[in-house]
Structure 1
Amino acid sequence: MSATWVTQTTQVTRRWTIDGIRQPWGLGVAVIQPVIWLLLFGNVFSSVATVPGFGSDDYMTFLVPGILMMTVLYSGAWAGTGFIDDIRSGVMDRMLTSPVHRSSLVAGQLVQQLVICFVQGLCVLGIGVLAGASYEGGPLGLLVALGASMLLAAAFCSLSAAVALLARDQTALIGISTIIVLPATFLSTALMPTSLLPSWVQTVAQFNPLTWAVEIARTSMSTDVDWSLVGTRSLWLLLLAAVVAWWSVRAMRTYQRSL
């Protein structure tokens, strides 16, 4: 009798988790990265808060939601490297000869990546407090912000997995990921409010998933939460994550047929 989909996914997640524990430097870098970003951007752009039209006197409070989403965005973009390693070592081919569901192979790795992103999110929020950021939305606001970060991470982890399975090359994955995440970062409201962006960037930012997630976090962590915005942007992120997850499973099946 074959194991259920949940059991298979759990075992795949366990395998990736054990592999991550054996290489703790990866998690260390993942935690240190947002620290550098908070300190770097927080100090370099702190004077932006004095510009008329900024809308806030505290740039660090404004910045933390942006860094939170940037952190999971970049982590998600490199998630596919694990599949590249499996392809090179032959582990992927052996896994595909087993009766495990192909969607479990994708979902198990995704769950492990989301756990890492959740830990990163907690670190960003904690460091933000130490750096002087204030979270007026309370515990509920923080949970909503973390939820938005998980949806964004799910979308980009799945995207990275799909690209890795189709490209099957580390250099190609890095190049494609860079082309996606850098424009996504600077064509969003992660670092600057909409009012200070050029008009064409404002237009592009409206369709940027990073902006959707940042908007959810900023309003949920404020005193005046726009639940309508939270609901609509969350729905968009959920739909995006679902579509890209479906594509990543299709990419796994495409890879299998090419063997």
Structure 2
Amino acid sequence: MSVGVTNRNRGKTVGATILPIANQKGGVGKTTTALSLGAALVRLKKKVLVVDLDPHANASIHMAFFPEKLKYTVLDLFLSKGPEPDIWDRIIYPDKGSGFDFVPSHIRLSELEVDLKDKPGKGLILHKALEAVSSEYDYILLDCPPHVGIILVNALVAGDLLIIPIQTDFLALHGVRLIFDTIRTLSKALGRPIRFRALATMYDQRASACRRVLDILTKKMPDRLFKSVISMDTKFREASAQGQVIFDIDPKCSGAKQYLQLAKEIIAHENS
């Protein structure tokens, strides 16, 4: 995999902890995690930026940012011809009630493989750009596309801790193998291991299949699995339908409580 990564000794980004959220299987709760975790961190008094890097723009649409109606999106960051100190001022949309700032996606992100084909250091674009705003936030969450490509590479290179949502379903385990292959390849290119932790999602305690998958994950990666488990909760769908986050719908529901627990776990993990 040629990703244009030339900085083999990148240290931790000063300022914000950058959390890419990725899985090469769709429908595992990736966008829900990005938005709900972002809102949970805000409730714990953290300054948060959520960046939608998925060309499908699910997070953007969820938050009522419709790419076709926006003049500036994250696409501008990747297509910038050189350093533009004020680019973040254009693409960051301040908190609209969710508690976090937001950078919307654009469908043309899917064309970046061609647009950046011959660009030197193309795997470091996001990492370098984030340096300009890192000091303004405690956490920056990256909602990644569900496939290997230049955007996912940029997110993993820039990230401090990769969060892998895994639906507690046997078919979802295949996607885990795919992203682990990507992690190993990039770790070799970077000369450092990519830190990651898995998050069990869409869990239904009543279903024996869910219990079995959670048991497998716990045994296979005891030190790489968050203790927090995200259950099925209809409040997630209600929040999406209303362009809100789950804390706006019902802060006392199980889904909200579980993402708040995850946020606390991440903060404790980063401070340990």
TM exceeding 0.5: no
Q: TM-score, normalised by structure 1?
A: 0.29
Q: TM-score, with normalisation over the residues of structure 2?
A: 0.28
Pick the structure with more strand per residue. Answer: 2
* Greater Rg by CA: 1
Structure with a larger share of its residues in helix = 1
